Structure 1
């Protein structure tokens, strides 16, 4: 143990002090001292995502960006830097904007990178407008060659200062620092490389810093991974440099060759920080880093270091594993810190933890510290260490040196973590609400005191929560998490609007009013008070253990998620579910106390039970509201029920044993036996025989005549669950064309709505027929289309009809076929582009409906799967019937006609009830898409009246009781059809128009375009073809005698979007240095999705935005061909010429042949450009001998005007490129 006096002050700083807090990497540097901090571990992206920016996390907002998609690096989660996150570069780069804080020669820069590329490449470079005589644009940074790692800066005259290490593969921490006068040095992995004392430039006018390339033209691009970049606007001392390198070494598992002062990287290496001293001029005595622990020292001896990190535990309190001395009310932060000490002694040290962001967790006067040598604080820990003081979120301690050793663990604890409210009407996350002046968390026992109401407006946490008598908890659109029990005491008034998650028991003796809330229970629900739900509210039992429900409760959604071994049982009280019983997993035991309720506002359902098992009986209700006497077709969704169950619900039965009126002559309860039909559907009805023994269930639906009153059907038993297969038959029938045999009355087996579209079927028509008591008729549903308000959703307790088309078929219904829809027995439904025909009368409110479809493969005979037979009303005396008699003498409620047919005639029967003669109206709902032009007429064969349904969709007639055959003819016809084909490409004249009809022969058809005759043809068959048409709008005229006044007149010939090839380049003149020069291309094409690039150097590309590297000088014609892949004939191409100039060539000046008119030359420290003619909108570029752009300007240079370009006094070769739309000229100057 070191002999020292150790004073530890643990406290928490507010943001007003943030810029002064040493929260940089490893605790080195504050907001004012850090200029750039790029950290790949803090990037939010998916593995492989290309990045348009890399955000600066220093707090200064000096972000790096790359808006050009082809030049964007990508994010990798498993990089070459020991498998950690990084940004991967491959001939792409980022750059910053101007950063004024970098206008200094007091600089330090550190990088973590990995490369295996041996080309000359730039990792980091900073560009200034001033600071040296020349070359300010490449002031300082890092680059590498095939043999060297080089950090560089500048002398005052611009001479480069290079610190060189041998080229090393692998991951490295590269640290450089510069004070602008006597010191410029670099280290790699704490290994000293080199130093220099001549780098005296004073950078000014910062333009940009580049990462992964030398400049904005992407010269010397870097290939490799970079995980972290740190730039200080100060010169780090030796102690600070060592601490930052330790921080990065721990973070990225990179070994240091010296000065590795932290030994617990694997377990406690998170948010590493440290203090230390090399000598009087090289010390760092105050550090916090990214964590909440700050340590300061009044003085250290030479060679002394203290570094610390943590185990990444939660910053929430816990009562588990606490030191015994804390007592029953104690708690500690879940996070543990561990220390590495180096040296003989520290003198005086202070420690600070930042609790200002809501991390307080107890009595402000009861914070203590514990230190332990093995991390098990339940035994052998040193402490409690105190006393402490808490001021504005800062808690402080003093600790002597003998209490802390190298390798020790430390926790922050509180001896009194129980919190109680002291103010009424405030919010949970307001510290002044509580006696601790803190925000309670998951380690605190919390009490809302008598008479206090506390509102939760944002996420809140507690260990155990008690709401006292006359107190109140108000959750408002937020979350409250209780790790233990929640007790609502007698007299408490509580409102829940949000999420309440209780891991233990919820004990309610008060009142709970729930509104848009979701409650999660980990143990038991004890309701001895009142719980009032709002529609949609949910309570979920998700503890995964044995849980109980105790006390009468009304639920809207009751969910059981027990997992593999969880068991939720009802111990006492009636459990009424008004919305959804949602059984997901585990076991649910009802004890016969659970009821799915049905009231006027809705009926409860038992959703897909997934992997859950239900034990015990379930009572299932179904409210039937009967406004008039009539038939209903129903079933039972639980096992073991009989007709007597419905009779006990008030349904009056008659005519059979044990019925309400057994001696009454008429039997009002019927099931259906398909084998009995034998050619006459009505033979299949089977009268009930005994109310006690006649079973009810999904395999035999019942038709029951009911009185005009409301019934709540209530059946009790084990619900049907799992896969249910119902067998259906067609006995003695003739297959699909038989409308008398094959009818089966079955039922929905589940206490839940099912979706017919999801149900598996075999040997039946894919349709259902359901009785609509309001219409007095059967409705039909098939393939998304319905009549008489029947849909794909079948209500629970609903019986329905299916029609077998084979001797044996089946309907198989699975749990997955359930839908969470409270489906009434009748619900409105609209669909499709079909014609709907309705029949209503003035004698009663009954009605009927049929559908007419236009389908390409329809015939005049009965088409199985396209057409469906009519199931006639069971109220023939009162209800009307509407059907079409097909050529096979089958009455249909869904009929199909050929889509390409020019004339169709349907025999329409519109029959009134036998005792309900009177005035009836046929109405037609004809969508525009049902028939593109043409005529639809209704002929009344009784009166001879023909009605044009295109202009009048209603027809009213007086019924006749002598009518037995179809009274009406529905005629659908057109004189001709028109089809157009688009032009194959933009501005192509290869569109066409085709006209077809039964009576085209010998008639003339003319085609007009914008009022002018375009073409005229006389038909010699029933088809006419106009081709070679440009896109446009055409009008059709003919001399044919037309029977329909609604034929097609206007027709469009369309064309696809024009394909336009276009692209831009980064420069039309490229200077070739020692490495290949890169051409960057941005595709600006329109109307295309396939691209082919020819770079004129033997290379090609199919990318959208490619890049190409040129290795040889010359003129190159870059060509882009763009095409639409869906239209191979539609393409366009474009070419541009670029010039690649070799910086080592001695003949570049020969490119300029008109030197007398355009003079370019050097004069001392200037380049002079003088023209004897006007040069408008001209780009002037100057490159040095290594291809770097050192000057650029766009000017209008008039006759005899002179442009002077200052280049400094250094002796080197320059290349001047002058370009405008008329010329590109390159001049070499020595």
Structure 2
């Protein structure tokens, strides 16, 4: 059967598989096929989009069809369409967490409402607007003394600017550009209401190219992190795939989205643009770090980036490499170390910077690159015995904490993984069991070292306590009390230097200036030990 719904300005009578034109001076039959139909499919009965019976064709519209909204529709699934028409007196509501992509024209003569549900209870959220709309008219404006709605001002000194600040040198309309949700901009919000807060925007959704002018002003920052942080936001009613973005204006490939519901306590999710399907949801704000040379350059969101998939927060580095966790009580935080052969040991574009939780009770764990940059995701080209990675911790209060290996990678640590507590002079095989320690409040950038390629040696051997590694321009030697002389050889076996060792368990010497592989030979009264050292 064929159901007949007459669209405005059209006069067509349907009979069987043909449509008969009865208007004007002519008369004739038009054969109907799916390929030649230009009327498309019409939503005609109030209700959910996903119910076939609500559509004129009694099937859901295809991705290349023209779609008409001629009733009140609730989009309850992810949808891709060609042209979309919302007719006067009718509405389309895009439910929270759902995604709409229009590859053609979107014509709105009715009402489009885009919904987002967020957690109240004073939780911080980074959000964006999928349509240009007045913030107050859509009830996103904060109640003074209860809620917060901030724009980020990158320029020195770096400032969060509240929506309620309307005058002075830094005011919200001036920093934001208007009182509206601006396409491509992100915002930081918090609402005191308990439970879930339902928010919405009623306006025509953004589509096509949307531009954001990046800032990197340099200078001293009031914020704890480097200059060049820009708060962007997904400008569309659909998800975007950060993998498909042009990231050449940024210092790394990551988008940083704050997640108040992150396991272990609120914190940043690192959305990895080097991986496919790096989805960022509608209504999601996120930080990017602009290059020093990117000040006033334009980053463009495009329809080609749009995609369905993901959630509001999704850590795209999960499943790769080593994952270490620092925990105490119900709070914990993690850091990742992964193998990427195209990366470097110093900080590069495949590394994600460490950004701390807004919750001061959550401990923080990070690794340090070879040039001392704190990282949430540390991409390295490989591992070598004698070349440990430093781990830093931020301890919120004095107490007992543990570092555990949540995810192992035999490629990185085929012979096991050891953690060194430099304060307590303890080595522990963390690949077997967690390591517990006590600490006072504070940020300790290099108390711990993660060692690769160590093997279990006889306990009565001096070499079982021996460790040699590079730290900056020095070679650190641990466990040398039973050795009296040191010789340094290059990779071809040429003796480069020879020196006496002090009768001490720990000592250091200058590392060779040229990067490469060297061999240190330690000589004692009853034994000798040789170890390869990689100098960067």
- The TM-score with structure 1 as length reference comes to 0.31
Q: CA deviation at 1:937?
A: 1.6
The equivalent position to 2:81 in structure 1, one of 539, 564, 583, is 583
- In the alignment, which residue of structure 1 is the partner of 2:179? 694
- Deviation string for 1:832-879 (max 9, x for gaps)? 54212222320x44x3222223444655533x213232222222x222
Give the deviation of 1:771 after TM superposition.
Answer: 0.8
Distance in 1, matches of 2:195 and 2:18, equals 47
Separation of aligned partners in 1, 2:63 and 2:279 = 27
Q: Measure how far apart 1:1022 and its partner are.
A: 7.1
The answer to whether the 8 Å contact 2:395/2:443 transfers is no
| 1:1159-1195, Cα deviation, whole Å (9 max, x unpaired) | xxxxxxxxxxxxxxxxxxxxxxxxxxxxxxxxxxxxx
Q: What is the root-mean-square deviation in Å for CA atoms of aligned residues?
A: 4.0
Q: Give 1:928 deviation, angstroms.
A: 3.9
CA deviation map 1:260-312 (0-9, x unaligned):
xxxxxxxxxxxxxxxxxxxxxxxxxxxxxxxxxxxxxxxxxxxxxxxxxxxxx
CA contact (8 A) 1:553 1:576 kept: yes
* Distance 1:560-1:588 versus aligned 2 partners, 3 A rule: farther
Matched, 1:615 2:99: no
Please say if 1:672 is aligned against 2:152.
yes
SS of corresponding position for 2:452? strand
Describe the SS at the equivalent of 2:377.
strand
8 A Cα contact 1:485 1:504, kept in partner: yes
2:50 is the counterpart of 1:556: yes
Shift of the 592–633 alpha-carbon distance from structure 1 to 2, 3 Å rule, reads farther
Question: Aligned equivalents of 1:555 and 1:542: distance in 2?
Answer: 24
Match of 2:312 in 1: 825
Tell me whether 1:782 sits opposite 2:272 in the alignment. Answer: yes
Q: 1:971 aligns with which of 451, 468, 475?
A: 451
The answer on 1:596 being equivalent to 2:77 is: no
**2:435 corresponds to which of 949, 955, 961:** 955
Segments of 5+ residues of structure 2 without an aligned counterpart are 5-12, 21-31, 52-59, 167-171, 456-488, 495-516, 520-526
Instruction: Work out which structure has the larger RCO, using CA pairs closer than 8 Å and 6 or more positions apart in sequence.
Output: 2
Where in structure 1 are there 5+ consecutive unaligned residues?
Answer: 1-461, 467-482, 487-501, 506-521, 524-539, 654-659, 678-682, 976-996, 1003-1020, 1024-1038, 1045-1230
Question: Does structure 2 conserve the Cα–Cα contact (< 8 Å) formed by 1:753 and 1:795?
Answer: yes
CA distance in 2, matches of 1:882, 1:542: 60
- 1:560 positional shift: 6.7
Work out whether residues 726 and 811 of structure 1, in 8 Å CA contact, stay in contact via their aligned partners in 2: yes
Q: CA deviation at 1:695?
A: 2.0
Aligned to 2:326: 839
State the partner residue of 1:637: 130
Count of paired positions: 422
SS where residue 253 of structure 2 aligns? coil
| Contact kept in structure 2, 1:670 and 1:702, CA below 8 Å | yes
TM-score (normalised: structure 2): 0.67
Counterpart-to-counterpart distance in 2, 1:912 and 1:888:
23
Q: Distance in 1 between matches of 2:127 and 2:243?
A: 21
Q: Secondary structure at the match of 1:695?
A: coil
Whole-Å separation in 2 of the counterparts to 1:783 and 1:547: 37
Once the two structures are superposed, the pairs formed by residues 858-897 of structure 1 within 5 Å of their partners are 859-862=344-347, 864-875=348-359, 877-897=360-380
User: Which residue does the alignment assign to 1:902?
Assistant: 385
Structure-to-structure mapping, 1:445-594, within 5 angstroms: 484=14, 543-545=37-39, 549-556=43-50, 559=61, 569-571=68-70, 573-585=71-83, 588-591=85-88, 593-594=90-91
Q: Which residues in structure 2 correspond to 1:237-276 (within 5 Å)?
A: none
Could you give the per-residue CA deviations for residues 934-988 of structure 1, whole angstroms, max 9, x where no partner exists? 4532112333332112333x2233341145443312222458xxxxxxxxxxxxx
Q: 2:334 aligns with which of 821, 842, 849?
A: 849
Q: Deviations over 1:352-395 (max 9, x none)?
A: xxxxxxxxxxxxxxxxxxxxxxxxxxxxxxxxxxxxxxxxxxxx
Describe the superposition over 1:521-552 as per-residue Cα deviations: whole angstroms up to 9, x where unpaired. x89xxxxxxxxxxxxxxxx9984138754442
User: Are the structure 2 counterparts of residues 889 and 829 from structure 1 closer, same or farther at C-alpha, using a change threshold of 3 Å?
Assistant: closer
- In the alignment, is the contact (CA less than 8 A) between 1:559 and 1:581 conserved in 2? no
Q: Distance in 1 between matches of 2:242 and 2:253?
A: 9
Which residue of 1 is the match for residue 502 of structure 2? none
What SS is found at the alignment partner of 1:894? strand
Identify the residue that residue 258 of structure 2 maps to in structure 1: 771
Contact 2:117–2:196 (CA under 8 A) maintained in structure 1: yes
Q: Distance in 1 between matches of 2:406 and 2:339?
A: 14
Cα 1:903/1:623, change in 2 over 3 Å: same
Distance in 1 separating the partners of 2:18 and 2:530:
80
Confirm or deny: 8 A CA contact 2:134 2:180 kept in the other structure: yes
Q: 1:542 to 1:759 in 2, by over 3 A?
A: farther
Residue 865 to residue 562, structure 1, CA distance change in 2 (3 Å): closer
What is the rounded CA distance, in whole Å, between the counterparts of 2:341 and 2:427 in structure 1? Answer: 27
Where do 1:54-203 residues align within 5 Å?
none
Pair member with larger Rg: 1
1:813 partnered with 2:301? yes
1:748 and 1:715 mapped to 2: Cα distance?
14
Q: Please give the alpha-carbon distance, in whole angstroms, between the structure 2 residues aligned to 1:593 and 1:1043.
A: 76
- Output one character per residue of 1:168-210: Cα deviation in whole Å (capped at 9) or x when no partner: xxxxxxxxxxxxxxxxxxxxxxxxxxxxxxxxxxxxxxxxxxx
Per the alignment, residue 795 of structure 1 pairs with 281
Contact between 1:833 and 1:929, CA under 8 Å: does it hold in 2?
no
SS state at 1:761 partner: coil
